[in-house]
Amino acid sequence: MDGNGRWALGRGLPRAAGHQAGAEAVRRVVEIAPELGVAVLTLFAFSADNWQRPPEEVATLMTLFRHFLDAETPRLVENQVRLEIIGRRDRLDPLLCSAIARAEAETAKGACLRLRVAIDYSGREAILSAARSLADLSRPSLDEALGPPVDLLIRTGGEYRLSDFLLWESAYAELIFARCMWPDFTGSDLAGAVQQFRARDRRFGTVPAAAPAAAWLD
Ligand code: IPE
Ligand code: MG
């Protein structure tokens, strides 16, 4: 979810206003996702690298996460959304940790959408910690220790990189790079991305089932 800061600066607003607007975009996207056939939606909210931002911005984001969890949980329950926070917990404020635990417990029965929000997340770190947990034989594979495979990965904000997001899980992800800033991302942008995804030929390294005659041989 990239571009909150630039969205705000472009309007002469503080970056915090961009993060607030970004939270509203989350609400819109979460509401429309099930209608579009999306069963699992993972949002990258705060990367392990984001700790390097100025402490005031980090504090603003952490407070926003906590308020958002508290404010949104009833709506998530109503819409049958199951919330799961991925990433490290040991560096988060205890107040945020309890808001996460509450929101996860209250939404645990949601069956319409599995919403995963990455906070203090690093794809490389997740792979390392999953690999370490393999020593515990109850975890048979990395696939099981990590999340479900990503089908479609959308990055907003006009950047063309993965920034340490779901690296293992995105091995065969279709990539879409949206030029808009995250707060401007709408339900119809998501619908458009899903439509593009459906039109893609996902071969996973195989040849097409019915190979069309190659025009250049004629
Ligand atoms: C939101 O966008 C991503 C978060 C880490 C919360 P940014 O804060 O990265 O916005 P830009 O890239 O500065 O515009
Ligand atoms: Mg950014």
For residue 54, give the ligand nearest its CA. 1
Amino acid at 195: Q
Residues of the chain with pLDDT under 70: 137, 139, 210-218
Residues in Cβ contact with 165 at an 8 Å cutoff, skipping those fewer than 6 apart: 44, 47, 118, 121, 123, 153
Which of 33, 32, 57 shows the shortest CA–CA distance to 46? 57
pLDDT of residue 214: 63
- Report the C-alpha dihedral over residues 36, 45, 90, 93, rounded to 10 degrees: -110
Strand, coil or helix: 189: helix
Site to substitute for ligand 1 among 6, 65, 156, 184, most atoms within 8 A of C-beta: 6
pLDDT of residue 75: 98
Q: What is the pTM of this model?
A: 0.94
Which of these is catalytic: 4, 49, 50, 218? 50
pLDDT of residue 137: 67
